Structures are given as C-alpha cells and as structure tokens.
Amino acid sequence: MKLHGRAALVTGAARGIGLAIASRFVTEGARVALVDIDRGVEGAAKRLGEGALGLVADVTATADVERAVTTVHQRWGRLDVVVNNAGITGGSKLTWEVTDAEWQRVLAVDLTSVFLVSRAAVRVMLGQGSGRIINIASVAGKEGNPNASAYSASKAGVIGLTKSLGKELATTGVLVNCVAPAVVKTELFSQMTEQHIQYMLSKIPMNRFGEVDEVAEMVAWLASDLCTFATGATFDLSGGRATY
C-alpha cells in the first residue's frame, strides 16, 4: 500500500478521472477528501468507505478552497497529497466565436483553481517538510487543439505553473508534477458524436483511448515515495500522440 496513512485531496472527484484517482488512493491506504462543486461528491465518497470524505466546494473561489484545505488538515492532522483534477472543456468553438464569459470560465476552472488549491496546500506542506502536488493537464496544452483555444491555453498554463512551482519547492521536500493525458474514456463520450470520437481516435498511434484507471496508476506513483527525483515534470499518457 504505497500511500498508507497519507492524507490526500482530489478536486473534480465526483466522477471520471478524479473519482478513479480517489478510489485508487483509498486502495493504496490513503484517507482522501473528494472535492467537487457537484453535490454528488458526497455520495461518491460514501461509496468509497470510511477512508473518504466528500466536500462540496467551488475550486474557483478562494474561500471555498481555503475551507476545504483547512478541513482536511484539521480532520487528519496533515495534508500529504493534492491532485488538481477539476476541469471543463468549455465546448467546441472557433477562437473568434468564444465569448468573454466562456473564456474566463474555462481559465477559472482549469487554471486558476490549480493556483488557488496549490497555494493553500503548499502553506500546509511547507510546515510538514513534505508533500506531493499532481496537476492533471492535457496533451492539448502541448499541441493546441482546434476549436478549444481556452481549454488548450489553460492546460498549457497548468504545465507552466507546474514547472515554476516545482522549481520553487525543489529543496523543500514538496514535489510538483503534472500528467498530460490524451483523450480518456469517460461518461463525456455520451455527449459526443461518433464522428468526433473517431476523429479523436485517429490522432492516437496506439489506436485506443486512455482509461481512467491508467491515469490513476500514474498519479498514485507520483504521489508515493517511489517518486523521489521528478519535480516540475510533465508525464504524458497519450498513447504516442504527444511529440514533445
């Protein structure tokens, strides 16, 4: 059990990748706070058992973020792992058709939340002299997806923030890394046309989509003591799509 006794916080954990990560953490022996704006996160936490706690919070709001981090720290006496997973795609539009509100919302959820949660977590982790922060970026942040400029820009920002924070904390015992998946199979597929699904598949040399458990596996390793010399790094899970 690689995370036995650790206290973790995972954002966007009501479903999909976030829930898979939280579930894997519980399996690895961690106590996990699942954070989401969706109240379904409370039921998701209950299904994971007594080692899980569901917290309803808006990770774009400083007060909510501070409350969530403080709750975990007070409940378990420490905060060892944070996974910034919360995100939205913002729909599919040409850049010049995106409204101010649409642009600002995607950057708030996908990038600003990573800053807010990381800032609050680092203040706890520095006092402990240890910690792991793992950010979920995307191959879109490296390559730039057409009709998804806000999403691509926000994920590029997550990669840049990861590098900056990793360097700042390099000698403190707190490691900061991110994972950049290609398309991962989740319930969002039900909202897409078959034509669009096939287009996305054609971009992946392995000719298959990623699975949420594959993301959770990588994150569990990054959260553990097995990861010792990697910080400020981006780990691709792209089935061969990413070229740099």
Q: Which residues are catalytic?
A: 151
Q: Which residue is associated with the tokens 């808006």?
A: 58
Tokens read off for 215? 């993301």
Q: How many residues does the chain have?
A: 244
Q: Rounded to whole angstroms, how far apart are CA atoms 115 and 52?
A: 24
Of residues 117, 130, 129, 106, the one with CA closest to residue 162: 117
Count CB atoms within 10 A of the CB of residue 201.
15
Sequence-ordered alpha helix ranges (H) in the chain = 16-27, 40-48, 62-76, 100-107, 113-128, 140-143, 149-168, 194-202, 212-223
- Cα three-residue angle 171-221-211, rounded to 5 degrees: 135
CB 41 within 8 A of CB 64: no
Of residues 62, 110, 121, the one with CA closest to residue 85: 110
* Burial per residue of 85-101, b for 16 or more beta-carbon CB atoms within 10 angstroms, e otherwise: bbbebbeeeeeeebeee
